[in-house]
Amino acid sequence: MTDSPSKHWRDGVVEEARKLAASTLNVEDTFMANLYPATLLDATDEALSSFETGLRTLRSPSDDEVLAAVERAVLALNAINELLRCGHRSGDGP
Q: What is the pTM of this model?
A: 0.77
Q: Are 6 and 22 in contact (CB under 8 A)?
A: no
Four-point Cα dihedral 68, 72, 77, 83, nearest 10: 140
Separation between Cα atoms, residue 94 and residue 9, nearest integer Å: 17
Separation between Cα atoms, residue 49 and residue 72, nearest integer Å: 12
Q: Are 39 and 65 in contact (CB under 8 A)?
A: no
Query: Residue 93 has what pLDDT?
Result: 45
Task: List the pLDDT tens digit at each of the 94 positions of the chain.
Answer: 578 899 999 999 999 999 999 999 999 999 999 999 999 999 999 999 999 999 999 999 999 999 999 999 999 999 999 988 886 555 444 4
